[in-house]
């Protein structure tokens, strides 16, 4: 019975991917299936609905953060923060190190904005366009864009995935970021070396396009526009609560948008809700977006997915799978078991958010320490989601940037990070076994 219900849910997800329908339809069908399963097990409708609502209540804080992120990303565009960063960074690009700079620039923007999709649709588009003018390998450029976009998606203080992991595990996001930086050093440096070598070995022609004049049509490109980004980075260093840091950055961006970029006061409500819309079509293609509306879809996914957790716990639907995962963890190690579960969860879920929540649901009993569980999730479910070709995590990012789907194979950082963690766990287990002899 349990396997049949889970199989039906998986079929629904795959149908949505194959037809291009929103994964929300499959999640809605899944909620109905799991409620019917609970009813079949003898639980009352009221009891099941209360359990589902209790699951949603566990992520109420992250829903508030989503609203703040929507406003923040809109105001960073309106205040000229993102255009100024992009314009200044473009001046650092040289054809011979273009692939490396693509990775680093997308990593920088994703750390600042916390969104892989938003990074791919802004800096990603710019890098792919530049790469085309310089005849750079589109697969390499696409891989560098994808790897950079998910570098920040993993460890930015304003990342929805990092906030979700923090909320699920009951840990501090800044403590998690500190741990993530530690495990990311070797994979990051190795990725930079690979992209540098790839760029030096590839011949490039053409010139780097001038972006400053393009953005100058719509924005005043002043250093003042950098202040909202500086504010959130400084507050993050002092480990100020992330919602407070985002609120401060919003307050810093507001006067810059009004006084420097000449946004009308009457435009602010629409801007905060619907996102930034540039008047110039060329500029619009690069910077439009943000706003509370941009977070509605991911918020709905989180709400539906979190409603499952209470039902699963109440009905024991996943108990059999959890026992299998537990036995696997005993044999190969907690991280290895989490990674294997995450890959399968992402292949089934077809999106990062549900993949994270399924992995946590199945693996949380394998690790007693909450911070280690958070790190396991970040280094497995978060970074493997974009490597699944049919998942929206990678496909949407590459499509938004205008890069081929084959760019997945060149997203070095997303492969090297799990491999490094596997190697570290293998050595740790080997050392532990040697010590017990």
Q: For residue 60, give every residue at least 6 positions away whose Cβ sits within 8 Å of its Cβ, in sequence order, or none.
A: none
- Over residues 171-181, the mean pLDDT reads 90
Asked which of 35-44, 161-170, 295-304 is least confident by mean pLDDT, the reply is: 295-304
pLDDT band at 267 (very low <50, low <70, confident <90, very high): confident
| Range of lowest pLDDT (79-83, 278-282, 303-307, 342-346) | 303-307
Per-residue confidence (pLDDT) for residue 204, from 0 to 100: 57
Higher-pLDDT residue of 49, 190? 190
Q: What is the pLDDT of residue 17?
A: 66
Instruction: State residue 144's pLDDT score.
Output: 94
The mean pLDDT of 343-368, rounded to a whole number, is 83
Torsion angle of the four alpha carbons 167, 168, 169, 170, in this order, in degrees rounded to the nearest 10: 40
Share of the chain above pLDDT 70, in %: 92
Q: What average pLDDT is seen over the chain?
A: 83
Banded model confidence at residue 183, pLDDT cuts 50, 70, 90: very high
Mean pLDDT of 370-395: 87
Q: What is the mean pLDDT of residues 372-396?
A: 86
pLDDT digit string (tens) for 11-70?
Answer: 877 777 677 677 778 778 888 888 888 888 888 888 888 888 877 776 677 778 778 878
What local confidence, expressed as pLDDT, does residue 200 receive?
82
Q: Is the pLDDT of residue 242 over 80?
A: no
pTM summary value: 0.72
Mean pLDDT check: name the lowest of 121-130, 193-202, 257-266, 403-412. Answer: 121-130
371 falls in which pLDDT band (50, 70, 90)?
A: very high
Position 153 scores a pLDDT of 87
Most confidently modeled range among 51-55, 140-144, 295-299: 140-144
Instruction: Tell me: pLDDT of 391 over 80.
Output: no
Dihedral (Cα; 389, 395, 398, 403), 10-degree rounding? 60
Mean predicted confidence (pLDDT) in 211-232: 83
Most confident residue range from 175-189, 200-214, 318-332: 175-189
């Amino acid at each position: 019975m349990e396997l049949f219900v889970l199989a039906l849910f998986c079929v629904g997800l795959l149908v949505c991917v194959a037809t291009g329908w929103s994964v929300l339809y499959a999640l809605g069908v899944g909620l109905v299936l799991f409620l019917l399963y609970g009813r079949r097990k003898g639980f009352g409708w009221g009891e099941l609905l209360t359990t589902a609502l209790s699951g949603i209540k566990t992520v109420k804080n992250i829903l508030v953060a989503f609203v703040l992120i929507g406003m923040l990303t809109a105001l960073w565009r309106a205040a000229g923060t993102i255009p100024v960063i992009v314009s200044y960074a473009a001046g650092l690009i040289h054809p011979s190190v273009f692939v490396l700079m693509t990775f680093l620039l997308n990593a920088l923007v994703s750390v600042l904005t916390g969104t892989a999709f938003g990074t791919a649709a802004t800096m990603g588009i710019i890098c792919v366009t530049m790469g085309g003018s310089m005849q750079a390998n589109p697969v390499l450029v696409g891989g560098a864009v994808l790897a950079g976009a998910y570098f920040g998606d993993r460890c930015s203080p304003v990342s929805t995935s990092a906030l979700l992991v923090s909320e699920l595990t009951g840990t501090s996001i800044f403590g998690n970021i500190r741990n993530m930086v530690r495990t990311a050093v070797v994979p990051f440096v190795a990725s930079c070396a690979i992209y540098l070598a790839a760029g030096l070995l590839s011949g490039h022609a053409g010139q780097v396009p001038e972006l400053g004049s393009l953005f100058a049509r719509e924005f005043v490109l002043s250093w003042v526009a950098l202040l909202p980004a500086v504010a959130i980075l400084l507050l993050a260093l002092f480990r100020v609560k992330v919602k407070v840091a985002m609120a401060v950055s919003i307050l810093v961006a507001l006067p810059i948008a009004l006084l420097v970029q000449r946004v009308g006061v009457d435009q602010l409500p629409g801007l905060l809700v619907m996102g930034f819309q540039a008047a110039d079509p060329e500029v619009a293609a690069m910077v439009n977006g943000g706003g509370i509306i941009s977070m509605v879809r991911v918020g709905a996914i989180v709400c539906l997915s979190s409603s499952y957790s209470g039902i699963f716990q109440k009905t024991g639907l996943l108990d059999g799978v959890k026992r299998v995962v537990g036995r696997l963890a005993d044999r190969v190690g907690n991280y290895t078991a989490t990674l294997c579960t995450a890959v399968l969860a992402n292949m089934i879920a077809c999106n990062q958010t549900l993949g994270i929540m399924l992995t946590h649901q199945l693996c949380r009993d394998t690790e007693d320490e909450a911070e280690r569980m958070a790190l396991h999730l970040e280094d497995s479910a978060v970074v493997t989601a974009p490597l699944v070709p049919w998942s929206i995590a990678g496909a949407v990012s590459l499509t938004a940037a205008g890069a081929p789907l084959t760019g997945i194979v060149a997203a070095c950082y997303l492969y090297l990070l799990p491999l490094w963690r596997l190697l570290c766990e293998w050595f740790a287990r080997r050392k532990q076994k040697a010590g017990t002899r």
